[in-house]
Structure 1
Amino acid sequence: MKLNLTKPLVVFDLETTGLDIVNDRIFQLSYIKVYPDGKEERENIYFNPQKPIPQEVIELTGTTNEDVADKPTFKDLSKELEEKFSGCDFAGYNSNHFDVPMLSEEFYRAGINFDFSKCRLIDAQAIFHKMERRNLAAAYKFYCGRKMEEDFAAHRADQDTEATYRVLQGELDMYSAERQEEKERQLENNMDALAEFSKTNDNVDFSGRIVWKEMKDANGKVLLDADGKPRKQEVFNFGKYKGWPVVDALRRDPGYYNWICSSDFTSDTKQVLTRIRLRDMGR
């Protein structure tokens, strides 16, 4: 459907060195500028981020440090981008949470106060999540074919538990090999497979302060275990040792363990860290 525009809309996406809006940088900006008359302008810009692109980002995006070494910095093109984006609205996917704040931060670093508060910000992900709700009531209707209020009282743990049990049964029925031809649409009816499929992150602790990362050799090749699966190790995901294997950081700075244990971290994080430390000490 043609967009009903009253001013130009910039549909855009960024590739960045990481997800830290303060410390990471943009190395690719792609956008489509759509005008009210239907005219479209497309541009794909690469920047030298002035900091290394991490290996995991290189593998994800296919863009290497050599690819952007001779490109202009964001600041070099910031005035030009300000002119092109002035008077526009913006749209993206998860853009209100990440892409717009990151772009705004880059403008600030370049000495430009681009006022996004004057723009209408459209986030396709937010629309998707609000229109296709992912709560228990929506799941119950989808997998069980009935509305929750027809079968249960609202906001009662015992009722929600029963509904959840029926949803899980409905999921296994819908995604069984008998009903799904495509292998990737099938769910195994065993708890190992369901637990693995349920994972949405690589957190070691619940708060994500420590995460699993693949181990690599000196040439950047992923190390494999006896079953041919990537070997992983616990890595700090915050602070001055972000990206460091936990055991390496604690060997280098033993006081870091005491600082975490005496600070306002969750008990789970402290327990996970203690288990890693004791394991490394051979206890």
Structure 2
Amino acid sequence: MKLNLNKPLVVFDLETTGLDLVKDRIIQISFIKVMPNGEEERGDYLINPECHILPVITELTGISDDDVKDKPTFKQVAKTLSDKFVGCDFAGFNSNHFDIPLLAEEFLRAGIDFDFSKCRLIDACNIFKKLERRNLASAYKFYCGHRMEDDFEAHRADQDTEATYRVLMGQLDYYTEEKQRQLGEDPEGRVLTNDMDCLAAFSKTNNNVDFAGRIVWAEAKDSHGNTIYDKDGNPVLVECFNFGKYKGRTVVDVLQHDPGYYSWIMGGDFTYNTKQVLTRIRMREI
């Protein structure tokens, strides 16, 4: 099935030095940029993380210090990637939880304010877990009819990117009303719409404002603790802190009554993205 796109979609995957959004770095980024007319552009970069790659990561990915010692740093390729990605939506496997947040961190460390809040983020892993609850290898076998180890080399970003792209297209082919009826399934709740807004909404699994979940969306309350609704009857959502002594308090209220809390976060061991989101809220209110 051809993706129904009204702007480019970047299907991507990262290999990294670890899973810490603050401390770890990208060592490989691979992507397929799919255009609305169906044309595809592929990119694959090995990245020098400017730190030692642990043996366990080398064993997992096949990427060693020697493989990246002469490769560009992320900062050196950041502008090129930003130019390629601007105006695009993004898709990956477990990307909303890890790849997008880490990519956002790397852009900010490189001095590039890439605003992912303007992008629709489609996570084939979340779609799969909601409908079948497996991992990428199982998803590939289920939707593509092959064993992933027969078609790809495991734990390489370029290989996983290709597999994720095929899984996403396979999901759209599989979760149609016609296909579900052929399988004898009730299609209610098991049909995916070939539309990036719908896929992004279905991929979303949390109410985070920042990627790390330090700030979340919550229903606004009046002075009596009752939910406030807009003119269409939907709850009004406001940004609230999700940790520490102000957990559950709105960000705006805390910034007004304890301005020093902003400075404490800006100087603390928080992700650049969290600091960026907090600063945007602060500037908006000013």
TM-score (norm 2): 0.50
Question: Aligned residue for 1:126?
Answer: none
* Aligned residue among 185, 190, 214 for 2:195: 190
- Give 1:219 deviation, angstroms: 4.3
What CA distance in whole angstroms lies between the structure 2 residues aligned with 1:246 and 1:222?
17
**Corresponding residue number in structure 1 for 2:170:** 170
**Alignment-derived partner of residue 212 in structure 1:** 217
Residues 222 and 178 from structure 1, CA distance in 2 versus in 1: closer, same or farther, beyond 3 angstroms?
farther
Determine if the alignment matches structure 1 residue 252 to structure 2 residue 257.
Answer: yes
Question: What is the match of residue 149 of structure 1?
Answer: 149
Matches within 5 A, 1:130-149: 134-149=134-149
Bigger Rg over Cα: 1
**Where does residue 240 of structure 2 map in the other structure?**
235
Provide the aligned length of Structure 1 versus Structure 2: 151
Write the distance in 2 (CA, Å) between the matches of 1:156 and 1:188.
Answer: 30
Aligned-pair CA distance for 1:143: 1.2
Partner SS, residue 253 of structure 2: helix
The equivalent residue for 1:203 is 208
Give me the whole-angstrom Cα distance separating, in 1, the residues matched to 2:188 and 2:221. Answer: 30
Alpha-carbon separation, structure 1, partners of 2:188 and 2:256: 45
Could you tell me how far 1:251 is from its partner in structure 2? 0.2
Unaligned 5+ segments in structure 2 are 1-128, 181-185
Output the CA distance in 1 between the equivalents of 2:133 and 2:253: 43
Q: Which has the higher contact order (CA 8 A, sep 6+)?
A: 2
Distance 1:155 1:141 in 2: 16
Are residues 133 and 172 of structure 1, via their aligned partners in 2, closer, same or farther at CA, if it must alter by over 3 Å? closer
Identity in percent: 66
CA separation of 1:189 and 1:226: change in aligned 2, threshold 3 A: farther
What is the identity, as a one-letter code, of the residue corresponding to 2:238?
Q
User: How far apart are residue 176 of structure 1 and its match?
Assistant: 1.5
TM-fit CA distance, 1:223? 2.2
Whole-angstrom distance in 2 between the partners of 1:142 and 1:151: 14
Report the equivalent of 1:267: 272
Matched, 1:158 2:130: no
Cα drift, residue 182 of structure 1: 3.0
Task: Identify if the C-alpha distance between structure 1 residues 177 and 223 changes in structure 2 by more than 3 Å, giving closer, same or farther.
Answer: farther
2 CA distance for matches of 1:232 and 1:172? 31
d(CA) in 2 for partners of 1:177, 1:220: 43
Aligned counterparts of 2:228 and 2:285: Cα–Cα separation in 1: 20
Q: Distance in 2 between the 1:223 and 1:177 partners?
A: 37
One-letter amino acid of the structure 2 residue matched with residue 237 of structure 1: N
CA distance, structure 2, for counterparts of residue 220 and residue 183 of structure 1:
36
1:184 partner letter:
G
Once residues 176 and 233 of structure 1 are traced to their aligned partners in structure 2, the CA distance between those partners, rounded to angstroms, is 35
Residue identity matched to 2:195: N
Name the Cα RMSD after superposition: 1.9
- Aligned match of 1:223: 228
Amino acid corresponding to residue 174 of structure 1 in structure 2 = Y
Alignment deviations for residues 190-227 of structure 1 (CA, whole Å, 9 cap, x no partner): 11111111111111111111011011334444322244
Shift of 1:230: 1.8
Aligned AA (1:153): E
Whole-angstrom distance in 2 between the partners of 1:231 and 1:170: 36
Question: Structure 1 214/133 Cα, relative in aligned 2: closer, same or farther at 3 Å?
Answer: closer
Correspondence list, 1:56-205, <5 A: 134-180=134-180, 181-205=186-210
SS in 2 for 1:189: coil
Q: Structure 2 counterpart of 1:142, which letter?
A: F
The 2-side partners of 1:217 and 1:179 are apart by 47
Q: Structure 1 residue runs of 4+, over 6 Å off?
A: none
Deviations 1:22-56 (A, max 9, x none): xxxxxxxxxxxxxxxxxxxxxxxxxxxxxxxxxxx
1:133 Cα deviation from its structure 2 partner? 7.0
TM normalised by structure 1 equals 0.50
Unmatched 5+ stretches in structure 1: 1-128
